[in-house]
Structure 1
């Protein structure tokens, strides 16, 4: 039987790679352009997750990430955490994400599932590695869902689970859903 720590960690490693796959084959503009009213974009999601991995599996457990991070209550810096400025390259952001994940993996491997941590920005700041693993897995999955939708908006690419269906399939599927929505709204 697989223990909870191994199961959660394996799932986290898998979804990290799924996140990175969302920028595969895209040009610089498409990887970073805002696709929602709030500016959500693919490379920005990866940049944000790099900070999250570094912070939650670093300072929360007294194992600080060896690169500078903005202070957790710096609102201006947090606003810049989810988009890529023109001077930041895709390679730099992806490499930082990979380094943050490697640092996180080292923390996860070194600590027991019930190892204590402290998240000063949470209402109940005393946590365990289990709490943080669940939080980061949830956070990364949430952003992977955003990334799925953003990528589909850019070029129609869909997740691995939906791949292999042709354009006619998706056109018919969308029409079926549209008919149901109109019928329910009438």
Structure 2
């Protein structure tokens, strides 16, 4: 793969990162942290989780460990410790860590060729070794998946939607239009439930 392909892959990863962090803007500490799904999904937890994901995939996998200790990655961390922020973990600290992890990951990406070989200790043997290209695609997909979660959680928190700042990527419609659209979908769903 060419340097152009690498740059395109990295650009898509960065777009996902930016979208996720943008979803935090303008919210209270409560709205950043509150669980809005039965499994506890919350905005700040998604960022915290992805900081760990990138630290491991672009660090451990290519023998380039991230310099800072990340407590929720330790073997004795509580289950789901990466999916929520403790009271003493501020939004600013978590976003700052995530951005430092980006820098580390971006250095790994820039210094290694896409066919560089790595090893993912938490994957089964048959899935190893891996290439940087595979990990770049894997982490990009995971980042965008969680950015989609963040989009839904943000909408549940305060009604805000959008792909990125200045581009909501939504059909044009007033609050009345959206309410009527939602009622129509509910009617269709109820009609199908009887089938």
How many residues matched?
186
Offset at residue 6 of structure 1 (A): 1.7
- 1:53–1:101: 8 Å Cα contact kept in structure 2? yes
Answer with 124-133 or 86-95: which moved more. 124-133
- 1:70–1:77: 8 Å Cα contact kept in structure 2? no
Q: Match for residue 144 of structure 1?
A: 147
What TM-score do the two structures reach when normalised by structure 2? 0.89
Cα distance in 1 between the residues matched to 2:64 and 2:16: 23
Gapped runs of 5+ residues in structure 2? 163-167
Matches within 5 A, 1:19-34: 19-34=20-35
CA pair 29-72 structure 1, distance change in 2 beyond 3 A: closer
Q: Alpha carbon RMSD of aligned pairs, Å?
A: 1.9
CA pair 70-163 structure 1, distance change in 2 beyond 3 A: farther
Gapped runs of 5+ residues in structure 1? none
Matches within 5 A, 1:164-179: 165-179=173-187
Q: Match for residue 97 of structure 1?
A: 98
What TM-score do the two structures reach when normalised by structure 1? 0.93
**Would you identify which runs of 4 or more consecutive aligned residues in structure 1 move more than 4 Å?**
70-73
SS at match of 1:139: helix
CA pair 70-28 structure 1, distance change in 2 beyond 3 A: closer
- Which of residues 161, 167, 170 in structure 2 aligns to 1:158? 161
Cα distance in 2 between the residues matched to 1:18 and 1:166: 24
Q: Match for residue 15 of structure 1?
A: 16
